[in-house]
Structure 1
Amino acid sequence: LKFTERGSVDLAIGWANGQTGAQAGEPRLRFTVTDTGIGIPERALSIIFKEFSQVDQTITRRYGGTGLGLAICKRLVNLMGGEIGVVSREGRGSEFWFEIPVQIAEQDSD
């Protein structure tokens, strides 16, 4: 939200397509956040999930932040046995996603 002054931010939740790193037959939920914000330069995509990482100092001065948000997200997703990633085009927006394994509850017979 912080980097999208105009346009939209969308959240989608659904079953993951394919088994990216999961055991065969393990159901996974995929959460995707897509925005029309400023996007991320390709050179920065490899560092944005690291602690205290910022894309560049001018963005930090304008929007603030410590560079911990995505690092915390990555740790939480990893603790749940999931995966996290991003696809972005500078000036066009970003798509952040994560997948986590889930268990399907058995239906109560009562």
Structure 2
Amino acid sequence: MKFTTVFVALVSAVPAVFGLTINTPANVVECQPILFSWSGGQSPYYLTLVPGGQSMASPIKSFPTQTGTSYTWNVDLQANTIFNIALKDSTGSTAYSDIVTIMSGSDTSCP
């Protein structure tokens, strides 16, 4: 009976340990590179930006399919754009970052 209890406890902990998680970047500035990074899940990964707080909305930006656990984006959206990063893996699991606001920078030529 002890073995069954321990086994069930371990199996229920697996999603928490291997769940898909995306890190919320700090200081996202227009026209500057920013690193998105994540852990868990199974590749390939599908990375998009959705309007802030609107997880079911159409993406405002989509990126190429990823096989690794990071992607560097040269911010090409305007300052004051508010978004969440949405990350989906090959199993259909989805993770969202906290809300991010793009800050203005000295270079505004890229959006």
TM (norm. structure 2) is: 0.27
Structure number with greater Rg is: 2
Structure having the larger proportion of residues in strand:
2
TM (norm. structure 1) is: 0.27
